[in-house]
Amino acid sequence: MSKLKRPAFVRDGVGVIRLTQGYEAIVDLDMLPILGAKNWHVSGSDITTNAYAKRKMILNGKRESIYLHREVLKYHGINIPEGMVTDHINRNSLDNRFENLRVITVAMNFRNSDKWNKSIGSTLRMSKHGKVKYQARIRIGKKQISIGRYLTQEEAHEAYLKEAEKMGRIL
C-alpha cells in the first residue's frame, strides 16, 4: 500500500479529506478512519464547478476510478443500480456526508443541476461560436423533445409555453 500523502483531519464536527490542488472533501466522522486512510485526488471536467474526489485502484488487472461518494454509499450498504446515479443534494460535489447523498435517475439529477431552469423548462447551452444560447426542451413521459435554440431566455420560455399549450399540457 502506498504512503498516505495528505492526512485527513476533523474540522467543525466533520471529517476532512485533503485532495490534490488544495481541494478538500468532507465526510461523516464515522467514515473518516476508513476513507481518510486512502489517497484521494480531485477530478472533474470543470474542476471549478464540478469537482469530485476519486482514487485509482487495480481491479481484475484493470485500473479503475473509485469515487468517494460511491464509497460512502457502499459502506452504508447501498448499491447504485444501473441507470441510476449518486446526487449531492446540496450541489456541492465535495460534500460526501451520507445525509447529502441520494440515488436518483440521470434525468432527476440533471433537473437538480444549475444547467436546468425549472421555472421555464429550458437548458443553457453554448454554441460552437461561444455565444450563449438557450435551448428550450419539453418532456412527454420519457421522451424529450427539443423545441429550438434562442438568443434570450425569454424567447426560449415563450417557445416552451407555446409548445406546451399546443400539446395540451397543464402548466
Q: What is the DSSP string of 116-149?
A: EETTTTEEEEE-TTS-EEEEEEEEETTEEEEEEE
Q: Is residue 4 part of a domain?
A: no
Domain of 122 in residue numbering reads as 115-167
| Model confidence pTM above 0.85 | no
User: Which portions of the chain are predicted below pLDDT 50?
Assistant: 120, 122-129, 169-171
Shared-domain flag, residues 89 and 144: no
Q: Is residue 20 part of a domain?
A: yes
Question: What is the rounded CA–CA span in Å between residue 29 and residue 33?
Answer: 8
Q: Is residue 51 part of a domain?
A: yes
- pLDDT recorded at residue 74: 96
How does pLDDT run across 48-95, given as a tens digit for each residue? 557 899 999 998 999 999 999 999 999 999 999 998 899 898 888 999
Shared-domain flag, residues 99 and 26: yes
Shared-domain flag, residues 90 and 159: no
Shared-domain flag, residues 46 and 70: yes
Q: Is residue 83 part of a domain?
A: yes
